[in-house]
Amino acid sequence: MTARGDDRQTALDIAEAANRAGQLVTEQIRSIIDQAEAGATELRQNAEEEANTIRRQAAESANRILERIRALDGPLSELVAELQREAERLSSDNQRGAS
């Protein structure tokens, strides 16, 4: 081989080595991206599950509060009615006493 042939071979060897190095770097970057995407997917799924749990707990709490309010509604209505009757009786007694 001539010196020029050696230079060409060296250039080819360098280009081949650069291509291999580029492929390795590309594979490493792809691997990092894949890991990041998998991690992001897992985080998203965990966040959705947590949000669903929080929404379910909030709905359950709201239902318990509504049940308590409904349980108080009957007795409170009776109390208000009793107070109205008592106020009417007192008003009536007061008017009779004034006459």
Within-domain flag for 56: yes
In a domain, 36, yes or no: yes
Question: Tens of pLDDT along 77-88?
Answer: 999 999 999 999
The secondary structure of residue 1, as a DSSP letter, is: -
Task: Say if residue 69's pLDDT is above 60.
Answer: yes
Is 61 contained in some domain? Answer: yes
Domain membership flag for residue 68: yes
CB-based contact 9:1 (threshold 8 Å): yes
With cut-offs at 50, 70 and 90, classify the pLDDT of residue 62.
very high
Q: Is residue 78 part of a domain?
A: no
Number of domains making up the chain: 1
Q: Is 2 helix (H, G, I), strand (E, B) or coil?
A: coil
Considering the domain boundaries, does residue 88 fall inside one? no
Q: Is residue 89 part of a domain?
A: no
Q: Is residue 37 part of a domain?
A: yes
Domain of residue 37, residue span: 1-72
Q: Does position 3 have pLDDT exceeding 80, yes or no?
A: no
